[in-house]
Structure 1
Amino acid sequence: MPLDYTDQLNLLRDILQNHQEDCCGSVSECEQIERTVKSLLLSGELTPDVKDVLTEIYSYGQQGKYTQHLDNHIQNHQEQLSNWVDHIDQYS
């Protein structure tokens, strides 16, 4: 059963919030971020500002997937993670 728009936003929010709170994560979580954002971007329910935020989140996930120091990558994005979680809260 595929996840609907709200479920996808909640999943994305949960992963980002865990990265923010725990200051660590996994490559598979970064891959999940990428997959979820791609799916959301294909949906017709997005406003331009949501697309901009999702594009930033996608870039974060992609960079995290390829970095050798994922925990440092997450640590360096703490402010953005907080902002992204706040944005998602507004749209879900």
Structure 2
Amino acid sequence: MTLNHQHQLELLKDILSNHQTDCCGSVAECEQLERLVKSLMVNQHIHSSMKPLLENVYSYSQNGKNAGNLNQHIQSHQSQLSEWVADMNHFS
């Protein structure tokens, strides 16, 4: 079953919210974020003004999966995580 762009956005927000709330995460979650962002970036239903936000999330996820200490990486991005989720709520 394929997720539509609304479901993908909700999943993206859920993972980012969990990172923000729990201050921890997994490499698999970072990889899932990457897949979601890639799919959303090519989706014609996503507003173009959301693309920079998605690019930031993609960079965050790439850096996170390659970080020596993923939990520290997540903790250092707490304010961005909150902002990204809030911004996504404006688009959905």
Task: Give me the TM-score of the superposition, normalised by structure 1.
Answer: 0.97
Task: Report deviation, 1:20.
Answer: 0.1
1:39-54 aligned at under 5 Å gives the runs 39-54=39-54
Q: Could you say which residue in structure 2 is the equivalent of 1:32? A: 32
Task: Report deviation, 1:91.
Answer: 1.3
Task: Report deviation, 1:47.
Answer: 2.6
Task: Give me the TM-score of the superposition, normalised by structure 2.
Answer: 0.97
Q: CA RMSD in A?
A: 0.7
- Aligned residue pairs, count: 92
Task: Report deviation, 1:46.
Answer: 2.5
- Give the percent of matched residue pairs that are identical in Structure 1 and Structure 2: 52
CA distance in 1, matches of 2:90, 2:5: 14
- 2:54 is equivalent to residue 62 of structure 1: no
Q: Displaced runs of 4+ in structure 1, greater than 6 A?
A: none
- SS in structure 2 opposite 1:45? coil
